[in-house]
A and B are shown apart, each in its own frame.
Chain A
Amino acid sequence: DQQVKQNSPSLSVQEGRISILNCDYTNSMFDYFLWYKKYPAEGPTFLISISSIKDKNEDGRFTVFLNKSAKHLSLHIVPSQPGDSAVYFCAASARNFNKFYFGSGTKLNVKP
């Protein structure tokens, strides 16, 4: 039962342009969402989070948007840099849950 879905396994973007990574969820109880970045042979690195009381959170080049009615969130990276090339995971949880549910990841390739 995949409660968090990332339907695009890969995305290729030119350096300097915007990267948009998408994530959908099915459980309306989820109220806290995170994005992680993962390089090969390393653990995931926390990037940015958003609580359901907000619809946008920004941190430097990274912005996460949350659309609760559509059960959809997205991560925007502007401008994209070659060092952003990695696998990006979204994760979701609820305050009274014990765990995060992760999507299957989107592999971003930023071309110089």
Chain B
Amino acid sequence: NAGVMQNPRHLVRRRGQEARLRCSPMKGHSHVYWYRQLPEEGLKFMVYLQKENIIDESGMPKERFSAEFPKEGPSILRIQQVVRGDSAAYFCASSSDRGTEQYFGPGTRLTVT
């Protein structure tokens, strides 16, 4: 079952450290999306990438957050100098084309202490 894979599933970081979240899309999918879910809230779009390109990063905070989807390897969401407010579940999704249904990974739960 080559679904969307995310690792790690759980990540604990102290304030000021860096967090790196990885996402491998479904086989054959070249479109990757990152979402954040805060407790008791819905999914909030962060960034949309295709291979080697950021297409839309309108949902991503301008500072400390970055994303990439290199030609080889998984997509990476990077959060520098984490703060307590970054604690959330981060979900990655992939699709075969823009605007088609997205398939989600199991998420990475980031806890900042």
Contacts and interface: CB of A to CB of B under 8 A. Distances in A.
> Do these two chains really belong together in a complex?
yes
A99 B42 contact: no
B91 to A, nearest CB: 5
A80 to B, nearest CB: 22
Interface string A9-53: 000000000000000000000001010100001111110010000
Contacts of B77: none
Contact of A42 (B98, B101, B107): B107
Given A32-B99, A104-B41, A104-B42, A99 B104 contact: no
Contact of B56 (A6, A99, A103): A99
Contact of B106 (A36, A43, A46): A43
Contacts of B43: 44, 89, 91, 102
Interface string B54-89: 011011000000000000000000000000000000
Nearest to B98: A98
Contacts of A46: 101-104
Contact of A94 (B59, B99, B102): B99
A48 B43 CA distance: 18
Contacts of B44: 102
Contact of B42 (A42, A45, A89): A89
A81 interface: no
B48 A98 contact: yes
Contacts of A102: 35, 42-45
A95 B104 contact: no
A44 B91 contact: yes
8 contacts: A44-B91, A45-B104, A93-B99, A99-B45, A99-B59, A100-B33, A100-B102, A104-B42
Interface of A: 6, 32, 34, 36, 41-46, 49, 89, 91, 93-105
- Lowest 8 A-B CB distances belong to which pairs? A43-B104, A98-B56, A104-B42, A102-B43, A99-B45, A102-B42, A44-B104, A43-B106
